[in-house]
Every structure is written in C-alpha cells, then in structure tokens.
Amino acid sequence: MSRIPFVAMISSSLITVLIVLSGNVRSQVPQIAGHQHLGKVACVDVRPGEKRPEYGCFNIGSIAGLKFTEKNVFWHLMLFPNRTSAEAAKSASGIVSEEDGKVWLSEFGLRNLAVRGGKTVAVVGPLQLPDAARYTAVLSYAIMRPGDSSRVHTHPGPEGWYVIAGEQCLETPDGATRSRAGRTMTVRPNIPMELAVTGKATRRAFALVIHDALQERGIPSSWKPSGACGR
C-alpha cells in the first residue's frame, strides 16, 4: 500500500474545513434590510432620517394603544405643503411622513373624518377590525421593482394600500386582485397573501396594517400561491 504524505493529508483536511466554513458564512450573511434574495421583500423597521436601501419595504411610522368605537375603520391619506402644517393638523393618533418628495398625513377613523387643511389623496377602506382591546397601526412605504414580491404571510388585522406609482397584484385564497397608480386596495385580517409587482414600472406605495396590539404585525404563512398574478 502506498503512503500519503502526512503534510498532504493535513492540507486536504484544511481545504475541506475551509470549504464547509465558507458555505456556512455565506448562508449567514444578512440580506439587505427590507430586500431579501430572489426578489422576496419583507417590511423592516426604520428610524426617521435613517439611510435606506434603494429598494425595499420600510415601516416608517406606528401608533400603539388605539381604541375604535366602530369595527370598520377608514384610512385618510392627505398631502400638506410642509411638515409644520401637517404636524399642526394631525390628531394624537395621526402619522406624518415624508416620502416621494411630499409631506403626508395619515389619520384613522370614520369615513367622514374631518381634518383641518391639507388635500385628501385617498380614503382607504373600510378596514374590518378583529376583536381586540387595543390596536397598533403600522404605516409602511415600499419601493419595489417589476418581478419583486412579498413573502407569503398573514396579518392579524386588515391591510390597506395606496399605490403612488406602478402596478401591484395581490393573490389570496380568494383569487388575484390588481391595482395601479392612484388606486387603493384592502384585505381582511388573517388572510394568507402574496403581493407581486406587475407591469414594467417601479412600484411605490403606502401600506397600512391595523392589528391587535398584543400580536405581531405579520407572520409567515405556509399557504402556496397559484401564481395567478403572473398570468
């Protein structure tokens, strides 16, 4: 039997270990915040003024401890000329945000909610609330490319969207629903979903989830979409 030099055996073992470690390191490299591999996007928390990736979905504001007298709530989205006027007009539960080169105010309540000043862009709803003692509202802003999609997930509360630019398609077990710039969309609580960017333009949109304050905003779902948004 021929003998393999001891040094050669050590070198071979080290190479094997390095290959294994290299694979583990690659698998543990974090994805860019808000934009995962294979075009799957999940919304991530960001702080005001924080530098963000070019694409992704970002939780830009939240209000906790909300109480509503009605089970159907409407999301009022308004534009203001500057942040000072928006802050002066907002209620204790309002959210002021600066996105897409504009100042926005989000308020939640009845369909005929009165807000001082500003220009109403959209009234999204009704958003059908689940039973809960208190709620948390989370406002998100997303910039996604054609072909991007969300992870398959559910929310323990309703979700609403206002599309600023581009097109989107939401698939649930009920089928596929499409929306484009200037339009709104809603979905009931606890519905498995996948949102996809369709068309040829970059999608920019706001999304709002109002959920039971004792639960997480969203969780992954094992439901398998049929791919209806791609057809």
Q: Is 90 exceeded by the pLDDT of residue 85?
A: yes
pLDDT of residue 48: 81
Hey, how many other C-beta atoms are within 10 angstroms of the C-beta on 130? 17
Q: Is 90 exceeded by the pLDDT of residue 4?
A: no
Strands (E) in 25-85, as ranges, are 40-41, 43-45, 56-66, 72-80
- Mean pLDDT computed over 104-130: 94
Contact 118, 89 (CB under 8 A): yes
Percent of the chain at pLDDT above 90?
78
- Mean pLDDT computed over 67-86: 96
Instruction: Give me the residues paired with residue 187 across strands.
Output: 159
Contact 96, 86 (CB under 8 A): yes
Residue pLDDT, tens place only, 156-210: 999 999 999 999 999 999 999 999 999 999 999 999 999 999 999 999 999 999 9
Q: Does residue 17 sit in helix, strand or coil?
A: helix
**Which of 23-37, 60-74, 174-188, 209-223 comes out lowest in average pLDDT?**
23-37
pLDDT of residue 231: 87
Q: Tell me the average pLDDT of the chain.
A: 86
CA distance 18 to 228: 43
pLDDT of residue 37: 37
Superfamily of domain 32-230: Jelly Rolls (2.60.120.10)
What distance lies between CA 113 and its chain's CA centroid?
25
Peptide bond preceding 126: is omega within 30 degrees of 0, i.e. cis? yes
pLDDT of residue 34: 37
Its pTM stands at 0.82
Q: Is 70 exceeded by the pLDDT of residue 14?
A: no
- Mean pLDDT computed over 69-81: 96
Peptide bond preceding 81: is omega within 30 degrees of 0, i.e. cis? no
CA distance 216 to 41: 17
End-to-end Cα distance, the chain: 64
pLDDT of residue 102: 97
pLDDT of residue 49: 82
- Mean pLDDT computed over 208-223: 96
| pLDDT class of 116 with cuts at 50, 70, 90 | confident
| pLDDT class of 27 with cuts at 50, 70, 90 | very low
Contact 169, 229 (CB under 8 A): yes
- Mean pLDDT computed over 115-137: 95
Hey, how many other C-beta atoms are within 10 angstroms of the C-beta on 210? 29
pLDDT of residue 19: 33
